[in-house]
Structure 1
Amino acid sequence: MDKPEFRCTTKKALDELATELNLKERIPNWDSMAGYSYTPGNPEDIQQYLDYYVILTNEDKKFTLMEMILDAIAEQPNQTEFVNYWDKVEPILIEDYLIHEFTIHYWKNMTVEFERSNIMTPLIQKIISQKRQRRN
């Protein structure tokens, strides 16, 4: 299995998104959590993140914002909302696969860390399989 090249969020992208999306006000404990093993997202703000993502051109910001989007999807209050947002995110992950390859592979291993892993893990694995088939 191919391992994606390691990638992590940059302080510059975090700081700029924090300002642009008012994250310090919207996410409790933003300063103590952002940029460590993942970047937290607020499930209530997911549509704002998606709307902002489509206007971004900076790949570091896209990378960071997608971490937040996936975290916000995983925290949706019910399966219907989860699927609604997943249907919006999946085409982005496919289109910008090279930007998000590390994050995609990170999330494919999330089997018990969050409540909806039984839904999300197979969806992530499907994206990886599709990309592998296209390479071959």
Structure 2
Amino acid sequence: MLKTYPQRYITASAIYALVQRFNLPYDPFMQDWEYEVADPNRIDEFIDAYLSNELNEDEKFALMETILQSFEESTKILDSDQQWSTILQLLEDNLDIHATTICYWACGNSAYTLCWRITPYLRKIKRRNHLKIVPK
């Protein structure tokens, strides 16, 4: 049975909080801010903040998008990376926050369509949890 979750969007307040916390660039004309500020060299810092219990759900949602893009841009070998395993577990443990993110990065379900190198990992979570996103 499919588990449905409402579509979630990044909020301006979450962006502002993360800009302040991490001294990230911001311009109102930045498209897809969460991906533009991704930085594989800051993955440790991003994960530490996520785990700190100092972020609200909207901030965690936005930061997870940045973390995933950072892994996408990294040269890490994901199958053997402990940080990547931690992120996958965080996604699965927090479906109420990250279902939209999982479905986006899963890029559909076709084994023949690969959007990004992290896609296969997100597809496994999506399938295992029978996720479906519905408009708010």
Which TM bucket (shorter chain)? Answer: 0.7 to 0.9
Q: Deviations over 1:77-134 (max 9, x none)?
A: 24259844321201100111110000110000185554xx2xx22211111122139x
Q: Is the 8 A contact 1:9 1:63 kept in 2?
A: yes
TM-aligned CA distance change 1:38 to 1:101, over 3 Å = farther
Name 2:46's counterpart in structure 1. Answer: 49
1:30-45 equivalences in 2 (<5 Å): 30-31=26-27, 32-33=29-30, 36-37=31-32, 39-40=34-35, 41-45=38-42
Contact 1:76/1:82 (8 A) holds in 2: no
TM-score (norm 2): 0.76
- Structure 1 45/70 Cα, relative in aligned 2: closer, same or farther at 3 Å? same
Cα 1:102–1:43, aligned 2, differ >3 Å: closer, same or farther?
Answer: same
Which whole-Å CA distance do the structure 2 matches of 1:54 and 1:87 have between them?
14
Specify which of 104, 107, 112 is matched with residue 106 of structure 1.
104
d(CA) in 2 for partners of 1:81, 1:74: 13
In the alignment, what sits opposite 2:24?
23
Cα distance in 2 for residues equivalent to 1:131 and 1:21: 32
Q: Superposition RMSD on alpha carbons, in Å?
A: 2.5
Q: Mind listing any 5+ residue stretches in structure 1 that lack a counterpart?
A: 25-29
Q: TM-score, normalised by structure 1?
A: 0.76
Aligned residues of 2:78 and 2:84 also touching (Cα < 8 A):
no
Number of residue pairs aligned between Structure 1 and Structure 2: 122
CA contact (8 A) 1:59 1:99 kept: yes
* Structure whose residues are more often strand by fraction: 2
Residue 23 of structure 1 aligns to a residue in which SS?
coil
Contact 2:106 2:122 in 1 (8 A): yes
CA distance change for structure 1 residues 113 and 123 in 2, over 3 Å: closer, same or farther?
A: closer
Change (3 A) 1:58 1:80: closer
Q: Which amino acid aligns with 1:21?
A: F
